[in-house]
A and B are shown apart, each in its own frame.
Chain A
Amino acid sequence: MLTKQQIALRIAKEVKNGQYINLGIGIPTLVANYIPDDLEIVLQSENGLLGIGPFPTEEQIDPDLINAGKQTITMVKGSVLFNSAESFAMIRGGHVHLTILGAMEVSENGDIANWKIPGKMVKGMGGAMDLVASAENIIVAMQHCSKSGESKLLKSCSLPITGIRCVKKIVTDLAVLEVDPEGGFILKERAPGVSVEEIKSKTEGKLILNGEIPEMEF
């Protein structure tokens, strides 16, 4: 089973040179730590920045410079600031190449639920619905099962959904899977030491197996 850091490390391998990328809160934020130095990429913060840099030192802290998780940040060289309408224009307009976000559930046709648990958590969707409706490539980072052991890869989402038919790839603590446009999770890679049988038993939605499934490499 992968740790959160290992999930982030595996997702970082999906990043390509020249991409503009939006990272969600949680595991996705960790991905930034593992992107190889030789790749030139730009991180977008939907509150109005292209070019998120590392967290600040005590001396660099600026309350007027935060990311979408409201954490203090810095800017890299060549950054640009803009307003929220411009920020979502670049998101909806398809200019952000890759969106990485967390999820509570993903269905076998690529629907994602990650914003609301009726009666329990009603905090709002923030920018998630705009992001999933528009990004050309969406990768989900999440645990394969909930804390109570229920599969989060489902036939259809039970929670209110955030977007339909949008998830392309999922990296969990057990596996890398792709969503088949015809419906189903195509198992691409196993976490080291995790069997196909275990992944199968923990995936409620349709699991598609094509030949030998390799272990992930880092």
Chain B
Amino acid sequence: MINKTVKDANEAVRDIPSGAFLMMGGFGLSGIPENCIAALLQRDIRDLTIVSNNAGVDDFGIGLLLQKRMVKKMISSYVGENAEFERQLLSGELEVDLIPQGTLAERVRAGGAGIPAFFTPAGVGTEVAEGKEIREFDGKLYLMERWLRSEFSLIKAWKGDTAGNLIFKGTARNFNPMMAAAGKITIAEVEELVPAGELDPNQIHTPGIYVQRIFEGKNYEKRIEQRTVRS
């Protein structure tokens, strides 16, 4: 079996250049590649374009990359909860493409699956449809959306093996599987890395064919955005 293991996050992100087009898994702060983000912060690179459903919070997740002005453009569906993001956006330092969440997920899925475009009803009649091809199918209007593919996808799984096979936990799965497939180089960080053969093939969510580098991450903080308990 092909061994995809790299030593750590620093080695995994060593060759990501300035201006790179990246994808990062996660919904809010759940399922984000914490170790890779920390390693990127050590690199002297900028002008990154990042596809990620959200943009972290001021002092965690992608918010840390924003603070260091490493990001040129975000492609996201919802970017609230981040004051620094808002400031950079309003001052024109940061570009942002806001995309309906299902369209974003499908554009990434399409990228990994070799489908260059597709039609969706989401956004018909809204400013999202401006400049896009509209077609009627069976009496309903749809707009055309293009695929998304990345130079590097940074994703986070619960368990993985040395062949790059991945298993996710809870709602931390979210965008990670599609981003794995849509990356030219996909870097997976996992909480537990095991030798190939130890994961049950029936239980694997993301096949290792999509993963080029894998390592066991350290010190996961897994910060909670909205800690809500039963009263």
- With most chain A CB atoms within 10 A of its CB, the pick from B27, B171, B172 is B171
Chain A 89-112 near chain B by CB (<8 Å), digits 1 or 0: 101100000000000000000010
Residues of chain B contacted by A66 (CB below 8 angstroms): 27-28, 30, 171, 224-226
The answer to the question of A172 belonging to the interface, with a C-beta cut-off of 8 Å to chain B, is: no
Query: What per-residue 1/0 map shows which CB atoms of B68-92 lie under 8 Å from chain A?
Result: 0000000011111100001001000
Check A55/B228 contact, CB under 8 A, given A47-B174, A87-B105: yes
Say yes or no: A122-B77 contact (C-beta < 8 A), given A48-B173, A61-B227, A88-B102. Answer: no
Interface residues of chain A: helix, strand, loop or mixed (majority) = loop
**Is the CB–CB distance between A47 and B229 below 8 Å?**
no
Instruction: Say yes or no: A129-B27 contact (C-beta < 8 A), given A85-B178, A88-B105, A123-B78.
Output: no
Which stretch from B5-13, B37-45, B125-133, B193-201 is at the chain A interface? B125-133
With both beta carbons as reference points, the residue of chain B lying nearest to A161 in the complex is identified as B126
Asked if B224 and A81 sit within 8 Å, CB to CB, the answer is no
Query: B214 contacts the other chain (Cβ, under 8 Å)?
Result: no
- The answer, yes or no, to whether A71 is at the interface (CB within 8 Å) is yes
Q: Which residue of A has the minimal Cβ distance to B206?
A: A83
In the assembled complex, A193 has its CB within 8 A of some CB on chain B: no
- The interface residues of chain B lying within 8 Å CB-to-CB of A63 are 29-30, 222-224
- A49 contacts the other chain (CB 8 A): yes
Nearest-neighbour CB distance to chain A for B15, whole angstroms, equals 28
A57 within 8 A of partner (CB) = yes
Chain B residues contacting A49 (CB-CB under 8 Å) are 171
Interface residues of A in 111-128 (CB under 8 A from B): 111, 122-128
A82: which B residues are within 8 A, CB to CB? 173
Do B31 and A64 have beta carbons less than 8 Å apart? yes
Instruction: Name which of B29, B102, B224 has the most chain A CB atoms within 10 A of its CB.
Output: B102
Instruction: Produce 1/0 per residue, A16-52, CB < 8 A to B.
Output: 0000000000000000000000000000011111000
Question: How far, in Å, is B97 (CB) from chain A's closest CB?
Answer: 10
Check A92 against B98 for contact (C-beta < 8 Å).
Answer: no
Chain A residue numbers with a CB within 8 Å of B225 are: 66, 70
Distance between B168 CB and nearest chain A CB, rounded to angstroms:
8
Q: Is the CB of A83 within 8 A of B126?
A: no
- Which chain B residue lies CB-closest to A67? B171
Contacting residues, chain A, for B168 (C-beta < 8 A)? 81, 83
B77 pairs with A125, CB closer than 8 A: yes
The answer to whether B77 touches A70 (Cβ under 8 A) is no
In-complex Cβ contact of B98 among A47, A125, A127 (8 A) = A125
A sample of 11 cross-chain residue pairs with beta-carbon separation below 8 angstroms, ordered by A number, consists of A46-B101, A55-B228, A56-B229, A63-B223, A70-B29, A71-B228, A72-B228, A85-B109, A127-B77, A130-B100, A164-B125
Measuring CB to CB, which residues of chain A are less than 8 angstroms from any residue of chain B?
A: 45-49, 54-58, 61-67, 69-73, 81-85, 87-89, 91-92, 111, 122-130, 133-134, 160-164
Given contacts A67-B171, A133-B124, 10 further A-B contacts (CB under 8 A): A45-B171, A56-B230, A61-B229, A62-B170, A66-B27, A66-B30, A83-B174, A83-B205, A91-B102, A127-B100
